[in-house]
Chains A and B, each alone.
Chain A
Amino acid sequence: MKKKLLAAMLCLAMALATVACGSSDTADTSEPAAEGTTEDTASGDAANSGSSTVVVAMGSGFSTLDPGYVYEKYPPLIMNACYENLFKFYSNDGAPEPCLADTYEFSEDNLTLTVNLKQNVTFASGNPMTSADVAFSINRCKNLQGNPAFICDTIESIETPDDYTVVFHLTQPDSAFLSKLTYSSLAVLDSEVVKANGGTDAEDASSVDTAQDYLNTTSAGSGMYVMTSYIPDQEVVLEKNPNYWGEATNVDKYIIRIQPDSNTQMMTLSTGDIDVAMNMTDDTMAELEGQENVQIVNGATKTVGFVMMNMNEEYGGPVSDPLVQQAIRKALNYTNFQTICGDGSITPYSLIQSGFMGSKGERDANYTNVEEAKALLAEAGYADGFDIDMTVCDLDMEGILLTDLAQLVKSDLAQIGINVNIVSQPWAAGYGDAYRDGTLGFTVMYWATDYNDPNVQIEFLPGKTVGVRAGWSEDMNPELAALYDEAMNATDNDARVAVLEEIQDAMYEDGPFIFVVQAPAHIAYNTRLEGVAISDPYSLDLTLINIAE
């Protein structure tokens, strides 16, 4: 028996070794999909290869691909390829432009938006797109009460007087409304298909809608692509929509791989196994430098890291003093924040990120002044500095740990005598509650834009969502607080820019928030592709990518 056992084990070892040698050859021949291998044909497997297939690697998966629930970073990349909205951002720094909408008009009081739809649009199923689909999709998102439901907060009701007209009645003027309509959660669904699979837009949708399972694996939109396969935490496959109404690119198929490790992305890009690596770091970019067939795009995202100092003395202690806040603002070395975040990162002038309409750009590179900071601290009565706890959570900002940012704050403030003690607290185990309840005294946090519009930033104003987290109530600065409504009401772009600039100037040196850095994005791609660019609303706009002829 023992002999047999040993003999069997030895045979197995030999067999494995033989197979390994043989299979490495297979791997070699099948290697770069990007170079258009034809192993499918050879093996008879009608799958992913061919020059018209593009493989994209992204750093994290997602919990859902149902437009009514999507809220995470990467789903918009897929949503934008499979679904379409009334409006869309066709360029990263542009304004929303009509997509499924043909024409639109705001009423004089800005409380009604009438949208006339394009009439030649069909869904992937072949069903025509009508106003009923638009109303269904938006009402469903609102009534599902999921993460993105807030985006419908200003919608009072939706009317559909005919098949190609949609009338939105708003609760208040909303200058960001067109931007909101570009967001993935408000993508227009094929209501017939979704209803057939358990979907509803009724008020009790949060408890009776059962279409999420269906929409997690299949798309039901009018976009350039249809989702044909989704293996959670592994890959999504998109294939060209045969019924697409518009002009399509020459990419027939996308395989979107979840590859959390940036080194893995770098290696798979270099060897040609993938075509686009979404999560490059400074190290991996250095490795790619000079490589043929690889191009890198760097830029700042609109995700911004900020220091928050509670205005309520009970929680903030010394940092609730406006003079101390100014001193801290002067003491921070913003260049160091940019260095730690990597190429492409910048420090915004104030609360509106560089890249948004109305942004005043970047903060002056020479703003830091330690001597002035010390003088301000002395004026506040803290000439010898003070000790303070800074609470930091376990989240990261586009891959940059918030604890790393906190370390920079600590070392900068040590120069003016403020001794910062960093206290770690998990987001889901207390930090999140304290942050929301406004009981954190001193912290470093980040803010990712919900939808691509500068109005997401005015939540930092006194009395608003983020403002109250810093104990900043409207009565502390009524003039600044009043600018919130002005910004919301300003549907005219010039008037809007003027208000946004006023807000930025008011918060340049004052207030409980210091916006230290906009996180960078680094995308590397195979040069056989054209149209690869950083996209704030979609991470990467797949509908703009072509394979070079």
Chain B
Amino acid sequence: MEQLKFIGKRLVYLVVMLLGVATLVFILTKLIPGDPTVANLSQRALNDPEIVAAYKARYGLDKPVIVQYFLYIRNLLQFDLGTSIRTNNPVLSELMRCYPATIELALFAIIIAAVLGILFGIVSAIRRNSILDQLVRAISVTGVSIPSFWFALLMLYFFYYKLHIFPGPGRLSNSFSPPATVTGLYVIDSLLEGNPAKALDALSHLILPALVLAMFTMGLITRTTRSNLLDVMSTDYIRTARAKGLGQAKLILRHALGNALIPVLTVIGLGLGNLLGGMVLVETIFNWPGVGQFAYESVMSADYPSIIGVALLIALNYMVINTVVDILYGLIDPRVRCK
């Protein structure tokens, strides 16, 4: 019952929040200078009042702003995000086209970041101030500070262009056609199609961009894990456990890690939210048709419905992730469950 109440509250909060985001972004897009007519019509067409009028009528830009707003909110409540001014397709279908590519990449990246980040954090904390610790710290600082576009080019240059270890940009090799869309995640859809070779190909295409994206979040996770584990290791109950003769591995895995992981989960959640918003530069270099590229193109075309659609998607990402993280807190730390 308590859990249902919690989920109900979250849902109401979600709807109110999304409406708030939609309103805010709508107002901002109208306040910021930028005319979709000028952005999308050619210089010649702009000289023809009939063409300009037809264009404005087509996208409802000829109506007063307040009418545009209420129409937008009314449609939004019916899950209609409007029509993209740039592509003339429904924004919802555009997002459904781009988002799976981003989800696939973001999930893969966050798994790499979490696994390596936590492992590095533990190693670094156990071997504090050793050469290994210095090395891990150097890697994590580099990960946090290295510009992703440069790192992306570097990875592509060495591992694809020079060494031929990993496949190049895109989601699949030329020898495969995209799988029939079920989830939009190529690895899963290829498996559903019964084509493991295609699934492996899709998976191999994920490695380089995911490593690049994972680098930043991994650095944060490593540092957070390390510092929290060190804090926990200096507490009284750990000292007591150690005095009772508990081995180092058992001590860390059974007693220390659980408490140290709670802030790490928050970092992982934020990292995933960040990745799900799309990474324009990495997507561009790896030719990854995700939300980041779509958002960029939409901004450049003053495509208001798409911009608001992307903003809503990002808000939704964070809210869902925060909810999942809250639930995971309870799984990891019994004290949270008790509360």
Interface of B is mostly: helix
Whether, in the assembled complex, B335 has its beta carbon less than 8 Å from a beta carbon of chain A, the answer is no
> Is there contact, CB below 8 Å, between A232 and B87?
yes
- What is the minimal beta-carbon distance from A295 to any residue of chain B, in angstroms? 19
Whether, in the assembled complex, B44 has its beta carbon less than 8 Å from a beta carbon of chain A, the answer is yes
Whether, in the assembled complex, A40 has its beta carbon less than 8 Å from a beta carbon of chain B, the answer is yes
Within 8 Å by CB of B175, from A1, A48, A432, lies A48
Within 8 Å by CB of A63, from B86, B168, B285, lies B86
Specify the chain B residue showing the minimal Cβ separation from A432: B38
Contact of A145 with B54 at beta-carbon distance under 8 Å, contacts A27-B167, A258-B287 already known: yes
Q: Determine which residue in B36, B115, B156, B254 has the highest number of CB atoms from chain A within 10 A of its CB, and name it.
A: B115
Whether, in the assembled complex, A212 has its beta carbon less than 8 Å from a beta carbon of chain B, the answer is yes
Specify the chain A residue showing the minimal Cβ separation from B84: A63
Whether, in the assembled complex, A107 has its beta carbon less than 8 Å from a beta carbon of chain B, the answer is no
Contact of A26 with B170 at beta-carbon distance under 8 Å, contacts A232-B87, A429-B32 already known: no
- What is the minimal beta-carbon distance from B72 to any residue of chain A, in angstroms? 20
Contact of A147 with B97 at beta-carbon distance under 8 Å, contacts A47-B176, A47-B177, A233-B289 already known: no
> Is there contact, CB below 8 Å, between B195 and A43?
yes
Q: Chain B interface: which of A97-105, A159-167, A170-178, A261-269?
A: A261-269
Contact with B along A200-232 (1 / 0, CB 8 A): 000000110000110010000000000001011
Within 8 Å by CB of B203, from A23, A42, A212, lies A23
Within 8 Å by CB of B35, from A64, A229, A255, A428, lies A428
Distance of A425 Cα from B33 Cα, bound (Å): 10
Whether, in the assembled complex, A53 has its beta carbon less than 8 Å from a beta carbon of chain B, the answer is yes
- The interface on chain A, measured as residues whose beta carbon lies within 8 A of the other chain's beta carbons, has a size of 78
Whether, in the assembled complex, A61 has its beta carbon less than 8 Å from a beta carbon of chain B, the answer is yes
Whether, in the assembled complex, A280 has its beta carbon less than 8 Å from a beta carbon of chain B, the answer is no
Q: Chain B interface: which of A5-13, A112-120, A488-496, A504-512?
A: A5-13
Distance of A449 Cα from B154 Cα, bound (Å): 37
> Is there contact, CB below 8 Å, between B173 and A31?
yes
Contact of A263 with B153 at beta-carbon distance under 8 Å, contacts A2-B257, A12-B115 already known: yes
- What is the minimal beta-carbon distance from A470 to any residue of chain B, in angstroms? 14
> Is there contact, CB below 8 Å, between B48 and A260?
no
- What is the minimal beta-carbon distance from B283 to any residue of chain A, in angstroms? 9
Whether, in the assembled complex, B145 has its beta carbon less than 8 Å from a beta carbon of chain A, the answer is no
Contact of A259 with B287 at beta-carbon distance under 8 Å, contacts A13-B115, A63-B87, A465-B44 already known: yes
Whether, in the assembled complex, B317 has its beta carbon less than 8 Å from a beta carbon of chain A, the answer is no
Chain B residues whose C-beta falls within 8 Å of the C-beta of A234 in the assembled complex: 287, 289
> Is there contact, CB below 8 Å, between B197 and A43?
yes
Within 8 A of A (CB), among B52-81: 54-55, 57-58
Chain A residues whose C-beta falls within 8 Å of the C-beta of B54 in the assembled complex: 145, 206-207
Q: Chain B interface: which of A14-22, A299-307, A381-389, A478-486?
A: A14-22
> Is there contact, CB below 8 Å, between B51 and A145?
yes
> Is there contact, CB below 8 Å, between A255 and B174?
yes
> Is there contact, CB below 8 Å, between A24 and B285?
no
- What is the minimal beta-carbon distance from A64 to any residue of chain B, in angstroms? 6
Within 8 Å by CB of A6, from B157, B165, B257, B289, lies B257
Specify the chain A residue showing the minimal Cβ separation from B334: A1
Whether, in the assembled complex, B201 has its beta carbon less than 8 Å from a beta carbon of chain A, the answer is yes
Whether, in the assembled complex, B130 has its beta carbon less than 8 Å from a beta carbon of chain A, the answer is no
Distance of A270 Cα from B160 Cα, bound (Å): 10
Specify the chain A residue showing the minimal Cβ separation from B303: A63
Whether, in the assembled complex, A28 has its beta carbon less than 8 Å from a beta carbon of chain B, the answer is yes
- What is the minimal beta-carbon distance from A446 to any residue of chain B, in angstroms? 10
Whether, in the assembled complex, B99 has its beta carbon less than 8 Å from a beta carbon of chain A, the answer is no
A-B pairs with the 6 shortest C-beta distances?
A: A23-B204, A429-B33, A47-B177, A27-B167, A33-B174, A432-B38
Cross-chain pairs A/B with CB under 8 angstroms, 6 sampled: A16-B111, A19-B203, A26-B204, A47-B177, A267-B156, A428-B35
